[in-house]
Amino acid sequence: MLQIPVLAQDRTQARSMVISDGGIVATSQTLASQAGAQVLARGGSAMDAAIAANAVQGVVEPESCGIGGDVFAIHWDARTGKLTAINASGWAPQGLTIDALRSMGHKAMPQEGIHSVTVPGCVDGWARLHQRFGKLPWADLFQPAIYYATHGFPVTEIIGEAWKLEVEKLGKDENARRVFLHGGAAPAVGEMFRDPEMAAALKLIAAEGAPAFYRGAIARAIMKTSDRLGGKMTPADLSEFASEWVQPLSTEYHGWKVYELPPNGQGIAAIEMLNILSLFPLARYAPRGVDELHTQIEAQKLAYADLHRYVADMRFAKVPVEGMVSMEYARQRARLIGEKARCEDTPGDPAAVHGDTIYLSVVDREGNIVSLIQSLYQHFGSGVVVDGYGFALQNRGGLFDLDPQHPNALAPRKRPFHTIIPAFMEKGDIHIGFGIMGGLNQAQAHAQFVSNVVDHGMNIQAAVEAPRFTKKTFGGCDVLIENRIPPEVRDALTARGHQLKVQGDFSNEMGGGQIVLHDSAAHVNYGASDPRKDGAAVPEPPPYYGPAKR
């Protein structure tokens, strides 16, 4: 049996793991975690709890996620050991083309406004996941979210700060001003916020299912909003959309199996990065020391150069997946890592080798795990709020390329390159659902988390709390790094050519992670929640008082 590392004294981590023989829900907002835990207590499955918690997050964390966005998820079945994954990312409208945008004067993809909007995949993804893995009635899952949208909730610290940063963006849309800027300002921390229009949308989804969103009243409201703003979406773009069941990619990292989803997401970069890192003796390096960080930063640059060059919707572009995840290719790329930082953005040739977002994780009493990520992309997505229904539409279209020769070039009914990725890892009796949000931070943060667990024996809370670096640009030697990395290590990295921009102790630039772990030998569950977010890992409440009286 693999032992769970425990550091009870003289430790560097701030929080302990949550440990329970019941289920655990870990999200970036405590009310959402609590709602998911209550669903588990009512007999819900891990997927029921994940959907309920995600729906609440769309209300209490509206700048990051909601029904106007996309969702990706991995489900692990404790009884069979089977992994099932879904890609519920939406496509570009039929009429949104490169020529159409250029005729409007756009030289690059719009990053906000109606022409950055792609079809939201979230509600369809929820419906398909619930049909396969749900236990409770669909309508029950939305009652917590409806409650908070109607009754209101006090705005939390990190969410409130992000909200304040988007006042200008929200002010450009009449619906956004009315719904999210009461009195022309973002709500203060602790202020009660209500969104009765979003409650109306959630009530329709609860009563009528996904058809309400893609063919019913909400679809008509989306179309009215799009038409009013000159958008290219049609009713068929909504009604004909369907999520896709996908097979996860995987790699072996020092005896652990690590799983990510295939493109159009960036999970493949985490696998390529781990493959490169497996060729270096990270376990012998000092944790978060200069040798480890230099190697990880250089591996990130190599993997992300390939990410930038090759990843796109595989229904439209030939992505060299087999080459990118092969160890032969990893060995080629690893040979480029030397003592000094590389500053050029140079992709390799994997085809020649053959062989602002929320994340949540849930484990239920039986050990089933859900790893789920959902997003509007940038804060409040496109900044466009749907007429009468109080939710923002995503701006995922902003990640397309207007170069028609690029694999990720905009095309009708094509899905853009996607940053959001759920993940899963296991060894023997230990099974971990994990994810770390934050745009292009995600794949590199996944690799750092895996290394913390595997190479340094950290428990899941210590591994997600540990200081991180992130690089959100392609090319160059710039890198963001947390202040908890000691000054002497930062100085040594600078001497090797890295251009460091030092962030706070627990910087939001590094994203926030949520982790659950199931020990199938001991039948015990563990949870961890990143202090870089407002959330918590909350255990399922036991039936202390017996069944609730009706």
Using one digit for the tens of pLDDT, what is the confidence trace for 251-269? 999 999 999 999 999 999 9
Percent with pLDDT over 70 in the chain:
97
d(CA 263, CA 7): 37
The backbone region for 255, taken as left when phi is positive above 0, alpha when psi lies in -120 to 50, beta otherwise, is left
pLDDT at 1: 45
Residue 85: its H or E element: strand 83-88
Residue 274: its H or E element: helix 267-277
pLDDT at 402 over 80: yes
pLDDT band (50, 70, 90) for residue 356: low
pLDDT in tens, 42-89: 999 999 999 999 999 999 999 999 999 999 999 999 999 999 999 999
d(CA 288, CA 292): 6
Across 166-196, b (16+ Cβ under 10 Å) vs e yields beebbeebebbeebbbeeeebbeeeeebbbe
pLDDT at 202 over 80: yes
pLDDT at 352: 64
For residue 425, list its beta bridge partners: 258, 432
pLDDT in tens, 489-528: 999 999 999 999 999 999 999 999 999 999 999 999 999 9
Average the pLDDT over 179-184 and give the result: 94
Q: CA dist 271 to 76, 153, 277, 329, 442, Å?
A: 19, 39, 10, 12, 12
pLDDT at 46: 98
At residue 139, the 3 state secondary structure works out as helix
d(CA 48, CA 73): 13
Predicted model pTM: 0.96
| Tokens representing residue 209 in the block | 């299912």
pLDDT at 354 over 80: no
Decide the pairing of beta strands 499-503 and 153-154.
unpaired
pLDDT at 548 over 70: no
pLDDT in tens, 445-499: 999 999 999 999 999 999 999 999 999 999 899 999 999 999 999 999 999 999 9
pLDDT at 153 over 80: yes
d(CA 152, CA 528): 27
| Tokens representing residue 154 in the block | 């006090």
pLDDT band (50, 70, 90) for residue 349: confident
Instruction: List, by residue number, the catalytic residues.
Output: 357
Mean pLDDT, the chain, as a whole number? Answer: 95
Other beta carbons within 10 angstroms of residue 548's beta carbon come to: 8
pLDDT at 12: 79
pLDDT at 179 over 70: yes
pLDDT band (50, 70, 90) for residue 151: very high
pLDDT in tens, 86-127: 999 999 999 999 999 999 999 999 999 999 999 999 999 999
pLDDT at 246: 98
Average the pLDDT over 389-406 and give the result: 96
pLDDT at 177 over 60: yes
Q: What is the DSSP letter of 156?
A: P
pLDDT in tens, 435-444: 999 999 999 9
d(CA 229, CA 213): 20
pLDDT at 227: 98
pLDDT at 6: 66
Asked whether the beta carbons of 375 and 70 are under 8 A apart, the reply is: yes
